[in-house]
Chain A
Amino acid sequence: GAGVSQSPSNKVTEKGKDVELRCDPISGHTALYWYRQSLGQGLEFLIYFQGNSAPDKSGLPSDRFSAERTGGSVSTLTIQRTQQEDSAVYLCASSLGGVGYGYTFGSGTRLTVV
């Protein structure tokens, strides 16, 4: 597609449920990043993929969070046993490999845990 596509755009879930967030990057972009923005906070780095591998998972907040990327394209971020503090906007970005102007964000998934 022309841009980075994220789905769903909004998700309301009950505490304790699992959720899966999807990111479809720009075709040909090898690098893919997940960030989250909590209320009143900046963008918090979660994980980075180069191709299908994730060299840096240190940003994942807990072991309830996991992410995978298949075929060097679509990525899913899974949050198990959601907690209220997981409520945030989850943003995905892709790039050709650099962190400069080639870094394109999707519109995000707003997750609300009730």
Chain B
Amino acid sequence: DQQVKQNSPSLSVQEGRISILNCDYTNSMFDYFLWYKKYPAEGPTFLISISSIKDKNEDGRFTVFLNKSAKHLSLHIVPSQPGDSAVYFCAAPTYSGGGADGLTFGKGTHLIIQP
């Protein structure tokens, strides 16, 4: 059962426009969400996060929106730049009795910024 879903395997956006990457989750216990960015042959790097007590978090060109009632979050990139071309993963922490013991990732969305 996939608890974090990214239903768009790829997205193509023109340079300078807004990129919107979507993520849905099924586990209402998730209380923190992260976005990671991955270039080919490199490990994922942390991009931005949001706590479930907020509905928006902004960092420069990147904004993450959280809609808890819909169990949906989205990452907005404005304006999109060629260097933004990468695979973006949505993730949420999973917890055991001992604390957070890993992240559950979506399958990723490959963002392609076209000149």
Contact = CB atoms under 8 A, between A and B. Distances in A.
Contacts, number: 68
B34 A33 contact: no
Contacts of B106: 42
A25 interface: no
B85 interface: no
B31 to A, nearest CB: 11
A100 B98 contact: no
A59 B107 CA distance: 17
Nearest to B49: A100
B105 interface: yes
B interface bracket (residues with beta carbon within 8 Å of A):
20 to 34
Contacts of A2: none
A48 B43 contact: no
Interface in A20-75: 33, 35, 40-45, 48, 50, 55-56, 59
B107 A42 contact: yes
Given A91-B44, A107-B41, A100 B34 contact: yes
B45 A42 contact: no
A56 to B, nearest CB: 5
B46 A103 contact: yes
Contact of A55 (B89, B96, B107): B96
Contacts of A91: 43-44
Interface of A: 4, 33, 35, 40-45, 48, 50, 55-56, 59, 91, 93, 97-101, 103-108
22 contacts: A4-B43, A33-B102, A35-B105, A41-B107, A42-B6, A42-B108, A43-B44, A44-B105, A45-B94, A45-B103, A45-B104, A48-B102, A55-B98, A100-B49, A101-B46, A101-B49, A103-B34, A103-B103, A104-B43, A107-B41, A107-B43, A108-B42
